[in-house]
Amino acid sequence: MSASVPKIEIVGLDKEFDLGGGETRRVVDDISFTVEPGEFVSVIGPSGCGKSTMFNIIAGLEEPDLGEVRVDGQNVVGQREHFAYMPQKDLLFPWRTIVENGALGLEVQGMPKKKALERSKSFFRTFGLAGYEDSHPYELSGGMRQRAALLRTVVQGREILLLDEPFGALDSLTRIEMQNWLQGVWSEYSWTAVLITHDIREAVYLSDRVIVLTARPASVRLELEIDLPRPRDLSVTTSHEFIAYEEQLIEVLHEESRKAFAQQNGAPRS
Amino acid sequence: MTSALNSKRAPLAAGAAPADPPPASPSAPRPARPKRRPRRDSFWGSVVPPVVIVVLLLVGWELAVTLTGMRPQVLPAPSRVVVEGFERADIIWGHTLSTLQVTVIGFAFSLIVAWIIAVAIDFSGVLRRGLMPLLVASQTIPIIAIAPLMIIWFGFGLLPKILVVALVTFFPIVVGLIEGFNKADRETSNLLRSMGAGRWKEFTFVRLPSALPSFFTALRISITYAVVGAIFAEYVGAQSGLGIFMSTQKNAFRTDLVLAAVAVTAVLSISLYLLTFVIERLVIPWSFKERKARGDR
């Protein structure tokens, strides 16, 4: 792993939204950070701070007003082919079987259906979905659906995974199982991944580094290296180091949350 | 936060399936649920009540006509309608085929037009704003006024009837399709775009399939209008068809034969209506299964 060129460089991203009537609202304010190859980075911030906007910019779905997104040193603003994006909702299509849902990205990219289905199928064991290839989404539990959605993301074979609160809609027990499972799969595959989350514990447990954003407009408030040995298991979550990381993040994040809360109550337009 | 995690579980090996409540096997996804009552019950439950109600109404009608001694020109007994109707079954059958032809061709034309309009509107906001008021306005035209004009413009052939059927049926389909296309939300659109899809692929991969359930709902509403539209178009002028048959029999005071034709119309409408369910099941079996899995009826 050469540490010379980072996998992703986010450089000075700015984004304002037009509110109409000549008013604008700054949502993203000079965000910069880097992600090393094979690194798992979590981005955490108060709700409504502009995380999702930042994510859409990285994924090439929106253009920034200023700044660059670089992959391997190249500016890729507006390009979508480097990132595989997983939204919070599973968005599995009821008219497709699970294996067909998994193949969606490949088919969209023009791979012949048969080949795409084979690719998709080859991931089913790893994702704990073996035997459910020909099931339909409504036959699966919430955790399985989310794994199927992650499978659909990973199958595309893109360099970087962008996960937007993938477990946010799950109940807390299932969420813990999913984090645990993802941690295991990730240490096997070493994907470069950026995860948006609200969940401090999730961020610490899964990440090599946690980036805390400020209240709106979002900028980087804190970068915290998580120096816990891998592979991790649940016992690590009760260790002193883990709890110290959590405390540090809780303190900063709650300060920002209070600001965001005051903003939302003070601003009539929010 | 961490206290909840004081786990007694052994950590999962990488790649193993987490134990969130998994269905026992793919074929029996919901093992713990009590069994539904067998389907036969719901069949009898949905067929018996309407049949009983119809039979009761007919019996009441028959009795009322017999007891009051009403003239058959005013109100014939149902038995008379049936007997007289069967006596002229071959004539009525011929007219039915004409009406069916107008209905099917008119409805097919309506479907084509509705799909073209709906897809065009889905791709263009300008078209949507430009066309919608026109489409709504088209529905405010009284058919009773336009149908005779159609005859003047296009003669007694098939064309004016097709146009009337299309006019009364295309609107629900267009609205159903437009709303169906929009069921695919912004997040789905973002997902597809992130995969590299353009507007056309987004349409074929998501918007089109997600519109199909609404399409079939709209189809059901429309098909019942189609038969009525065809009969109305024939009523104002045609060489054959149930509409013109009703018109001439009314002028001859054969109320019984008018009602016989009405009964045939009802059977025709109901058959076409039921046919939409069959087609729906063939085209989008997933929608049916999904609704069933969610417990909708």
> Band of the pLDDT at B231, cuts 50, 70, 90?
very high
**A-B Cβ pairs (cutoff 8 Å, strict):** 140
Number of domains comprising chain B? 1
Residue B268: pLDDT above 70? yes
Give chain A's mean pLDDT.
88
Reported residue count of chain B is 297
What whole-number percentage of chain B has pLDDT above 90?
Answer: 60
CA distance A15 to A25: 9
Q: Which of residues 197-256 of A touch B (CB under 8 A)?
A: 200-201, 231, 233-235, 237-238, 242-243, 246
Is A143 in a helix, a strand, or coil?
Answer: helix
Q: Is residue B113 part of a domain?
A: yes
pLDDT interval class at B36 (50, 70, 90):
low
Confidence at B33, pLDDT banded by 50, 70, 90: low
pLDDT band for position B40 (cuts 50, 70, 90): low
Question: Does residue B32 register a pLDDT over 80?
Answer: no
Range name among A248-252, A256-260, B188-192 with the lowest pLDDT average: A256-260
Taking the C-alpha atoms of residue B201 and residue B194, their distance in angstroms, rounded to an integer, is: 12
Segments forming the whole domain that contains residue B116? 87-294
- pLDDT at position B17: 46
Does residue A223 contact residue A210 with C-beta atoms inside 8 Å? yes
Q: Is A185 on the interface with B (CB under 8 A)?
A: yes
CB contact (8 A) between residue A129 and residue B17 = yes
Whether the CB of B25 is below 8 Å from some CB of chain A: the reply is yes
Q: pLDDT exceeding 70 applies to what percent of chain B?
A: 85
Q: State the virtual CA torsion across B261, B266, B270, B273 in degrees, nearest 10.
A: 90
Residue B150 lies in a domain: yes
**Within a domain: B290:** yes
- Asked if B29 lies within 8 A of A139 by C-beta distance, the reply is yes
Burial of B288 (0-12, 13-18, 19+ CB in 10 A): middle
Comparing A26-35, A60-69, B38-47, which segment has the lowest mean pLDDT? B38-47
Q: In this structure, is residue B121 part of a structural domain?
A: yes
Q: Does B10 have pLDDT greater than 70?
A: no
Q: What is the pLDDT of residues B144-158, one digit of tens each?
A: 888 888 888 998 888
Cα–Cα distance measured from residue A29 to residue B108, given in angstroms and rounded to the nearest whole number = 56
**B95 domain residue, yes or no:** yes
The single-letter code of the amino acid at A128 is G
Q: pLDDT at residue B3 above 70?
A: no
- Domain for residue B261, yes or no? yes
- Provide mean pLDDT across the span A156-185: 87
Cis peptide before B26 (omega within 30 of 0): no
Task: For residue A173, list chain B residues with Cβ-Cβ distance below 8 A.
Answer: 20
Looking at per-residue confidence, does B296 or A149 come out higher?
A: A149
- Cross-chain residue pair B286–A94, CB shorter than 8 Å: yes
- Judged against a pLDDT cut of 50, whether residue B4 lies above it is answered with no
pLDDT tier at A264, thresholds 50, 70, 90: confident
Tens of pLDDT along B157-167?
Answer: 889 999 999 99
Distance from CA of B23 to the nearest CA of A (A): 7
pLDDT of residue A241: 92
CB contact under 8 A, B18 and A233: no
CATH of the domain at B173: 1.10.3720.10
Cβ contact, residue pair B13, A184, below 8 Å:
yes
The answer to whether A201 contacts B5, with C-beta atoms less than 8 Å apart, is yes
User: In the structure, what pLDDT confidence band is assigned to residue A182 with cuts at 50, 70 and 90?
Assistant: confident
Q: How far A58 CA lies from chain B's nearest CA (Å)?
A: 10
A97 and A135 Cβ atoms separated by less than 8 Å: yes
> Is B43 inside any structural domain?
no
User: What mean pLDDT is reported for chain B?
Assistant: 85
Residue-wise DSSP of chain B: --GGG---SPPPPTTPPP-SS--SBTTBS-TTSPPPPPHHHHHHHHHHHHHHHHHHHHHHHHHHHHHHT--TTT---HHHHHHHHHHTHHHHHHHHHHHHHHHHHHHHHHHHHHHHHHHHHHH-HHHHHHHHHHHHHHHHS-HHHHHHHHHHHHTTSHHHHHHHHHHHHHHHHHHHHHHHHTTS-HHHHHHHHHTT--HHHHIIIIIHHHHHHHHHHHHHHHHHHHHHHHHHHHHTS-SSSHHHHHHHHHHTT-HHHHHHHHHHHHHHHHHHHHHHHHHHHHH-HHHHHHHHHHT--
Asked if B191 and A138 come within 8 Å (Cβ–Cβ), the reply is: no
Q: Mind listing the pLDDT tens digit for each residue in A183-225?
A: 888 877 878 999 999 889 999 999 999 999 988 888 889 999 9
What is the model's pLDDT at position A189? 80
Q: Is the pLDDT reported for residue B12 higher than 50?
A: no
More confident residue, A54 or B27: A54
**Is any Cβ of chain B less than 8 angstroms from the Cβ of A125?**
yes
| pLDDT tens string A55-87 | 889 988 889 999 999 999 889 888 888 999 898
A135 in contact with B, Cβ within 8 Å: yes
A180: nearest CA partner in chain B: B12
Q: How far is B42 from chain A (nearest CA, A)?
A: 23
ipTM: 0.86
Residues 144-183 of A with CB under 8 A from B: 144, 156, 162, 172-174, 176-178, 180-181
> What does the pLDDT average to over A126-142?
91
Whether B192 contacts chain A with CB within 8 A: yes
Name the token pair of B127: 């078209």
- Taking the C-alpha atoms of residue A102 and residue A92, their distance in angstroms, rounded to an integer, is 9
Alpha-carbon torsion B275, B277, B280, B281, what sign? negative
**B283 Cα to chain A: minimum distance (Å):** 11
Does B285 fall in a domain? yes
The predicted pLDDT at position B115 comes to 97
